[in-house]
Amino acid sequence: GLTQAQFNVANDVANFGSSMAEKGYNAQMGANAANAALTASGYNAQMGATAANAALAQNQYNAAADTSATNAALTQTQLGNVNTAAAFGADMAGKQFATSMDYNNFATGLLGNQYSAGITNNNTNAGYGQQMLANTQGTNSLNAGLTQQGLANLASLYNTGIGIAQQNFDNANTSAGTLANLYNSSAGLYNNALDRTTAVQTQRLNNRLNTGTANSANYNSLIGAAGNPLTINAAGMEAAINPVISLTAAGQGVASGGTGVLGSLGGTGSSTSTQTQSGMASQWLPALFQGAALFT
């Protein structure tokens, strides 16, 4: 059977392989945890960007609504101004007409008084009556001219009121067109905000995919790095225990074909050996070394 020294060496090899496998497993689990944290961070950043874009779109929509309300109030004010101007024009036309009628009535009364006085004086003085008649005719002509001028003034004032009303109506139409343009501009801003949100989300998704690819490469590198120390340490272990194995084989009459037993198990030495003695040791010692190779 194996000596205690050989058994201890085989046990150390098995323990060393188990320790290195556990370290490789822990390294892989740490990499998995780091990648999970990175993925969660990217997701939180993407959700934050989406919320910011949604708030921006809402603010733009609120600004457009406020502008629409302001323009509606302005249009209502202009309509009130149109109605006020029309009412003022109608009132002024009524006052002008009333003034003209009062003046006509006054002139008619004055004419009647002058005519009566002329008739009375005509009974006493025909020449004086003729002069009064001439004066009455002149007054009539003057009154007719004043009445005509009053009617012309009334027509002019009425036409001015119509012009003001038309101008206010045109202003209202212009304000309505401006309001429509603001509505269109607000809709365009909202659509642009949605486009920017979509672009940001697409870029975030691409970044996450690229991060996953990079992490996959990192996993492979970590797994490879975890395997390299096992191979190197197997070669070192072989150099340490070869003298013990050679002495044991010489004592039991076993002729070794080389010193690469552990190296062949780790993929670095020769893969052949020669056994010259049968027995229990020659049957399970290679199996023990093959089991140790599972941890490299």
Confidence of residue 252 (pLDDT cuts 50, 70, 90): low
Contact present, 227 and 293 (Cβ < 8 Å): no
Nearest CA among 227, 226, 225, 236 for reference residue 262: 236
Write out the H or E segment, with its range, that includes residue 229.
helix 126-252
In whole angstroms, give the CA distance from residue 113 to residue 119.
10
Average pLDDT over residues 142-171: 85
Q: What tokens appear for 42 in the block? A: 């990217």
Nearest CA among 33, 42, 35 for reference residue 214: 35
Contact present, 5 and 248 (Cβ < 8 Å): yes
Average pLDDT over residues 48-54: 88
* Those residues with Cβ within 8 angstroms of residue 281's Cβ, 6 or more apart along the chain or in another chain: 1, 2, 252, 254
Q: Identify the DSSP state of 124.
A: H
Residue 263 pLDDT: 45
Confidence of residue 262 (pLDDT cuts 50, 70, 90): very low
What does pTM read for this prediction? 0.24
Contact present, 169 and 85 (Cβ < 8 Å): no
Look up tokens 């101004």; give the residue. 81
Q: What tokens appear for 246 in the block? A: 């050679």
24-34 pLDDT per residue, tens: 899 999 999 99
Residue 278 pLDDT: 45
Report the first-to-last Cα separation within the chain, whole angstroms: 26
Contact present, 193 and 52 (Cβ < 8 Å): no
CA 164 to chain centre: 47
In whole angstroms, give the CA distance from residue 162 to residue 152.
15
Q: Which long-range contacts (CB under 8 A, 24 or more apart) does 210-216 make?
A: 211/38, 211/39, 211/42, 212/39, 215/31, 215/35, 215/38
Average pLDDT over residues 46-55: 88
Residue 217 pLDDT: 75
Residue 236 pLDDT: 64
**Stronger pLDDT, 118 or 214, i.e. the higher one:** 214
Predicted confidence (pLDDT) at residue 281 exceeds the cutoff of 50: no
Residue 294 pLDDT: 46
Give me Rg for the CA atoms of the chain: 58
Contact present, 246 and 5 (Cβ < 8 Å): no
Residue 96 pLDDT: 81
Residue 250 pLDDT: 59
Share of the chain above pLDDT 70, in %: 71
Q: What tokens appear for 142 in the block? A: 């003057």
Average pLDDT over residues 239-251: 64
In whole angstroms, give the CA distance from residue 236 to residue 231.
9
Round the average pLDDT of the chain to a whole number and report it: 75
Confidence of residue 137 (pLDDT cuts 50, 70, 90): confident
Average pLDDT over residues 172-179: 82
Query: 3-state class of 139 per DSSP?
Result: helix
Distances (CA, A) of 122 to 109, 116, 125: 20, 10, 5
